[in-house]
Amino acid sequence: MKHVILDCDPGHDDALALFMAMGDPDIDLMEVTTVGGNQSLEKVTKNALSLIELVGGKVPVYSGAPTPLVKAPKWAGYIHGESGLDGVKLAPPKSEVAGTHAASQIVKTVMDSPDQYVTLITTAPLTNIALAALMEPKICSRVKEIVMMLGAVHTGNVTPVAEFNAYTDPEAAKVVFERKWPITMIGLDVTHQAICTKGVQKKLAEANPSLKEVLDGLINFFRESYKDEECFPDPPTHDPCAVAYALDPSVVKTVKCPVSVETKGDLTCGMTVADLRALAPKDCNTQVGLSLDVEKFWSMVEKDIANLRAGK
């Protein structure tokens, strides 16, 4: 059983990651924390609450950092729309957030839990995680692992070398990578293989007819955004890859290597620099994903979505 804090900014692919985390019997989703990223903090927090209520969940949500540590925010409305979840009309949430200081809550949960108990899965800029690590450095030795959808070994998407989550708050990413905790970076090298074709979409909808309208709305909008903005005929489904790896590491091929985050370069800000030149030092605590077992991945997503029931 994985005892998980999911730090996210829903977001279409965050929605699928959240559905996986809620639908998998091997995940104890302890809490969800939100951060400004794909859209403003207010919007992504509302989306998280609505998505959890949609499938009858009782997971507490804590809102966190509204802006990056240093940079001015630049939301991804060009991909996720004005609401952050355009393409589907979710019911306004009936519940309120459990708290508004996500970093403090992450510290509390980790410190109150047994050593090596909590897995952090992050699918957003790392602002909340960096603040938590700065607030209480002891969490770095107590967290079991961090699995993050962030970065790229090779090609970026916001710039030629920088992925969105890293680019949005590179200073936070630098803080997180410079701490000594086990990190697995699931970047674009992996997630650009998780292509949600129309055939895959059909299987997901058939796996759970009660969610068909929501899934089709989300994926269809996401598909059109990627056609317009990044010339993908079908959308890469980034964030569920991090959940899938946390559940079954064999779904992603990884290699251990040092990773540094560029914060100053005019052309390279937000680049996650993976040093693959030689064998990693023995004390290396970071690894990066390089490829995805696509068939196994979609089978996992389908299975977890099948376990959910809209309106239950």
Per-domain residue ranges for the chain? 2-306
Q: Residue 104: pLDDT band by 50, 70, 90 thresholds? A: very high
User: What are the residues whose beta carbons fall under 8 Å from the beta carbon of 282, sequence distance 6 or more?
Assistant: none
| CATH number given to 2-306 | 3.90.245.10
**pTM of the entire predicted model:** 0.97
Q: What is the mean pLDDT of the chain?
A: 96
- Catalytic positions, written as ranges: 238
Using one digit for the tens of pLDDT, what is the confidence trace for 237-272? Answer: 999 999 999 999 999 999 999 999 999 999 999 999
pLDDT above 80: residue 46: yes
State the pLDDT at residue 311. Answer: 59
Q: How far is CA 119 from CA 18, 30, 173, 203, in A?
A: 15, 10, 17, 29
The pair of three-digit structure tokens given for residue 291, joined into one six-digit string: 């490829």
What pLDDT is stored for residue 196 in this prediction? 98
Reported confidence tier of residue 228, pLDDT bands at 50, 70, 90: confident
pLDDT band, residue 49 (cuts 50/70/90): very high
pLDDT at 171 over 70: yes
